[in-house]
């Protein structure tokens, strides 16, 4: 069986349900999140949904942000409120604006909360982007929000990852797989090599049966030498001579086990 390294620590956000949700509505919220987060096979983000504290009900997002900060909970959080029912979107509440944002006329003052109304199925992918190469402020621009930001600003457009089909994007999720001799095949077919840059001398992919058993899709890719992997328990996983490291795509339609939500979540 091919070896796939565990996902490790997946980032997890708190979500406050500031309105009553029926079982059907809660199920819909969860299904939308799972779709965008690829939760069943390659979780990009996790979410813990709690009923909002009584003190938060009917209060502004800046009030919630201030109370979270006072409690030492400085991470961004999610609010599920009337906008989920009315506009089919949730609020990602980031942080208070800093002095640079005020100076650059991104926000009126440091008392303004940076937040974004976003489709639930777009939350995970957007969060990964915010952590790497984009910002919430950029997405606010795309959503038509006027600058400098004011508290409780109006957001004309719901953020939706540029209209990306979140079901289709699941097919773009890839993983590095360590395969032992007999689990993969190679080719030196020039017509296939020409499709890669820089052009390699050889390509590899998992054998179809091996890929199917692992919930993956076999496709030609670059070959790298397999190296020992440090395991969570401190041991080291080694592989036979001739083992390789390949990048293969997940098959979202494989019989993945049901996703388990974090302990304590609704």
The domains of the chain are located at: 12-168, 173-250
- What are the distances in angstroms from CA 77 to CA 10, 81, 84, 132? 15, 13, 15, 18
CATH of 12-168, one of 3.40.1350, 3.40.50, 1.10.1060, 2.60.120: 3.40.50
Average pLDDT over residues 57-73: 98
Average pLDDT over residues 153-176: 97
Read off the pTM: 0.93
Confidence of residue 7 (pLDDT cuts 50, 70, 90): confident
Query: How far is residue 253's CA from residue 185's CA, in Å, rounded to a whole number?
Result: 24
pLDDT at 8 over 90: no
Confidence of residue 109 (pLDDT cuts 50, 70, 90): very high
HSE on the CB side for 50, CA within 13 Å? 12
Q: Give tens-digit pLDDT for 255-266.
A: 999 999 999 999
pLDDT at 121 over 90: yes
Q: CA angle 148-81-133, nearest 5°?
A: 50
Q: Give tens-digit pLDDT for 38-53.
A: 999 999 999 999 999 9
Q: Give tens-digit pLDDT for 183-224.
A: 999 999 999 999 999 999 999 999 999 999 999 999 999 999
- Residue 197: the pLDDT is 97
Query: How far is residue 19's CA from residue 72's CA, in Å, rounded to a whole number?
Result: 24
- Residue 54: the pLDDT is 97
- Residue 9: the pLDDT is 87
pLDDT at 110 over 90: yes
Higher pLDDT, 120 or 133: 120
Backbone angles phi and psi of 261, in degrees to 5: -70, 155
Higher pLDDT, 6 or 158: 158
pLDDT at 32 over 90: yes
**Kind plus residue range of the DSSP H or E element containing 191:** helix 190-193
pLDDT at 6 over 90: no
């Amino acid at each position: 069986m091919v070896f796939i390294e565990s996902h490790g620590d997946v980032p997890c956000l708190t979500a406050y349900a500031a309105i009553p949700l029926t079982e059907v509505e809660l199920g819909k919220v969860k299904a939308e999140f799972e779709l965008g987060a690829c939760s069943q096979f390659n979780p990009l983000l996790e979410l813990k949904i709690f009923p909002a504290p009584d003190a938060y009900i009917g209060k502004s997002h800046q009030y919630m942000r201030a109370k979270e900060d006072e409690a030492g909970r400085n991470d961004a959080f999610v609010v599920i409120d009337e906008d989920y029912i009315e506009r089919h979107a949730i609020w990602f509440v980031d942080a208070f604006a800093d002095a640079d944002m005020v100076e650059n006329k991104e926000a009126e003052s440091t008392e303004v909360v940076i937040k974004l109304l976003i489709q639930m199925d777009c939350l995970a992918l957007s969060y990964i982007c915010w952590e790497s190469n984009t910002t919430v402020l950029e997405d606010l621009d795309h959503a038509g929000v006027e600058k400098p930001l004011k508290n409780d600003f109006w957001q004309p457009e719901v953020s939706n990852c540029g209209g990306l089909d979140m079901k289709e994007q699941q097919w773009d999720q890839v993983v590095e797989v360590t395969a032992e001799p007999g689990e993969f095949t190679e080719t030196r077919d020039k017509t296939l090599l020409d499709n890669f840059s820089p052009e390699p001398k050889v390509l590899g992919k998992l054998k179809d049966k091996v890929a199917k058993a692992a919930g993956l899709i076999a496709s030609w890719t670059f070959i790298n030498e397999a190296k020992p992997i440090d395991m969570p328990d401190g041991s080291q996983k080694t592989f036979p001579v001739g083992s390789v490291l390949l990048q293969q795509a997940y098959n979202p339609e494989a019989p993945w086990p049901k996703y388990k939500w974090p302990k304590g979540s609704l």
